[in-house]
Amino acid sequence: MNVKEVNGGYVIDFTLNHSRFRETVPAPHNKTAVKRIEEQEAIYKMAISLNDKTIASRFPNSKIIQKAFNTSCNYTIHDYSNIWFKQKQRNWSHTTIRGYTQKYNSYIKPNWGDLLLTEFKASMFDEWASNTTLSGKSINETRNVLGQIFKRAYFDGVIESNPIERIERYKQKPNEPKPFSKSEIQKILKALSSPFKEYFQLAFYTGLRTGELLGLRWEDIDLEKRLAHIRVNITSGKEKTPKTAGSIRTVELHALAAEALL
């Protein structure tokens, strides 16, 4: 057998009918994987020797089969986005799913969704980025989603390289916060009725994120010591722990924040 262990998987490498065939197969390094890939190599050789397209059709994403039977990638970016999303979504939070879906539906699908994976060029993304009014952060997030789609196709052996790796990340300009002035805060609070007035007063004088404010429980509050323990975040109606360890924290309450709670 011509199966060799490499970092992250195995390489099938053999010569048949005066042609060399080579393909990397991602897999864990264990006896079960070796046996499976050796069997896969034997099937490749049988399909090529017999020129049997029925056998070959069992491995439509194989580089070896594509070369031997002169087939090419016929997946569009939209086709493979569905494959990638289905395989990976169980590992994502609902906010990640929402963010990826928004970037894909708003920017990737309308611009490149109908292109074959092999038709996409790095320059297409750069041209789009140079004409869009999106921030560098949004451009990079779109690049990340597109890159993961192509990465999945590359790891599956459908394409020979990931074109997104040839696209540089765009500079992100941090936006300086522009908080309301004290007089503006007073005007806003004056215009509100309860309980909205108290909610925004608490927001103004704690600086908490919206999800953190919504996640506050009375057991998280110590009015005597003027402390709030931030343990939960609520986003799109779903409760979860904060994304980073630093977000789980205790904050001191301004007198006006404590007043709003009272």
Chain position carrying tokens 């070369």: 67
Output DSSP code: residue 115. Answer: S
Phi first, then psi, for residue 259 (nearest 5°) are -60, -40
**Cα distance between residue 55 and residue 72, in whole Å:** 17
Report pLDDT digits (tens) over 229-254: 999 888 878 887 776 777 889 999 99
Report pLDDT digits (tens) over 61-87: 788 887 787 666 678 999 999 999 998
pTM (2 d.p.)? 0.56
Whole-number mean pLDDT of the chain?
90
3-state secondary structure of 91: helix
**Cα distance between residue 157 and residue 109, in whole Å:** 22
**Cα distance between residue 222 and residue 216, in whole Å:** 12
**Cα distance between residue 192 and residue 197, in whole Å:** 5
The helix-helix angle for 136-155 and 94-103 (nearest 10°) equals 100
